[in-house]
């Protein structure tokens, strides 16, 4: 079967430690240069270049030329979802072997980070918990919906959660995404992306240098407390 070979090819591309590191670094949805990715994967630029051409040839990345820089980005949300799903399975195995190894440098990542286009980490899970507790969304392991209460909340915040809305406004769709550090679902999908964008735009959170981690601003601390009852550290 031809699909079988293609499957193995894609998985092999993701299977190399160096390439995995680069894909991991691109999971925040931004575009990075070959040198930045080389640093992220701890390899030389020329080795990274080879990997990147393979990833691009395999359709996992798209490349954007801009002067003497070449920006690399995940090719599609489908690729991001694939990486997420692999991380979930990997997280299962890790936690099964070791109780939990909280790296000191991972603290920021575990506290709050972006996951392609939405929020993850303790902050992401807390937000989802708050929305569920206040009956603004409902989540199962497979799917999620926004309730009428949720619709009014997001309207009030001015969050445009859908380009084309389904038939009923009370039935906005969203998607759960298992958090690899918290091991509980956070909010993904179109609504998760819109919420994350709103947090960034409003200055509630800020990206930390070149990582996926984000920090909560003073303004954000107040907003999360007032709107969602979340105390951020």
Partner DNA sequence: CCGATGTTACGGTGACGGCCGAAGCGTAGC
Partner DNA sequence: GCTACGCTTCGGCCGTCACCGTAACATCGG
Residues lying near DNA in the complex (CB under 7 A): 12, 16-18, 33-35, 43-54, 63, 67-70
Site for a copy of itself in 11-50 (CB under 8 A): 11-17, 19-21, 24
> For residues 34 and 193, which CB has a smaller minimum distance to a copy of itself in the complex?
193
* CA–CA separation, 80 and 23 (whole Å): 9
159 binds a copy of itself (CB under 8 A): no
Phi and psi at 40, nearest 5°, equal -65, -35
User: Is residue 84 within 8 Å of residue 76, measured between CB atoms?
Assistant: no
Which two structure tokens, joined as six digits, stand for 85?
Answer: 């799903």
- CB count in 10 Å sphere of residue 214: 27
- CB count in 10 Å sphere of residue 37: 25
Q: Measured from the CB of residue 86, what is the shortest distance to a copy of itself in angstroms?
A: 6
Residue 168, classed as helix, strand or coil, is: coil
128 binds a copy of itself (CB under 8 A): no
User: Is residue 47 within 8 Å of residue 14, measured between CB atoms?
Assistant: no
Q: Measured from the CB of residue 45, what is the shortest distance to DNA in angstroms?
A: 4
Contacts of 123 (CB under 8 A, 6+ apart): 111, 112, 205, 214, 216, 224, 230, 232
Given DNA, a copy of itself, none, residue 50, with its beta carbon under 5 to 8 Å by kind, binds: DNA
Supply angle C-alpha 101, 107, 113, rounded to 5: 115
Given DNA, a copy of itself, none, residue 218, with its beta carbon under 5 to 8 Å by kind, binds: none
Q: Measured from the CB of residue 12, what is the shortest distance to DNA in angstroms?
A: 7
Q: Measured from the CB of residue 67, what is the shortest distance to a copy of itself in angstroms?
A: 28
Q: Measured from the CB of residue 137, what is the shortest distance to a copy of itself in angstroms?
A: 11
100 binds a copy of itself (CB under 8 A): no
* CA–CA separation, 109 and 182 (whole Å): 11
Given a copy of itself, DNA, none, residue 69, with its beta carbon under 5 to 8 Å by kind, binds: DNA
**Which residues are near a copy of itself by CB under 8 A?**
1-17, 19-21, 24, 58-60, 76-79, 81-82, 84-94, 96, 101, 103, 106, 135, 138, 140-145, 166-167, 171, 173-175, 178, 180, 188-190
């Amino acid at each position: 079967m031809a699909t079988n070979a293609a499957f193995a090819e894609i998985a092999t591309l993701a299977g190399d430690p160096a390439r995995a590191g680069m894909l991991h670094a691109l999971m925040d949805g931004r575009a990075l240069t070959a040198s930045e990715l080389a640093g992220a994967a701890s390899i030389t630029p020329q080795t990274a270049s080879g990997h990147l051409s393979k990833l691009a040839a395999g359709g996992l990345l798209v490349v954007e030329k801009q002067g003497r820089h070449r920006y690399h980005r995940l090719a599609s949300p489908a690729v991001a979802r694939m990486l997420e799903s692999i991380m979930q399975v990997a997280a299962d195995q890790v936690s099964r072997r070791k109780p939990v190894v909280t790296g000191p440098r991972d603290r920021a990542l575990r506290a709050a980070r972006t996951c392609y286009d939405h929020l993850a980490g303790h902050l992401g899970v807390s937000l989802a918990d708050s929305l569920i507790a206040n009956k603004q969304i409902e989540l199962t392991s497979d799917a999620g919906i926004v309730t009428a209460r949720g619709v009014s909340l997001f309207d009030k915040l001015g969050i445009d959660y859908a380009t084309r809305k389904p038939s009923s406004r009370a039935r906005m769709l969203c998607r759960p995404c298992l958090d690899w550090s918290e091991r509980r679902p956070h909010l993904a999908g179109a609504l998760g992306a819109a919420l994350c964008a709103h947090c960034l735009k409003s200055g509630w959170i800020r990206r930390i240098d070149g990582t996926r981690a984000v920090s909560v601003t003073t303004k954000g601390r107040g907003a999360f407390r007032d709107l969602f009852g979340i105390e951020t550290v």
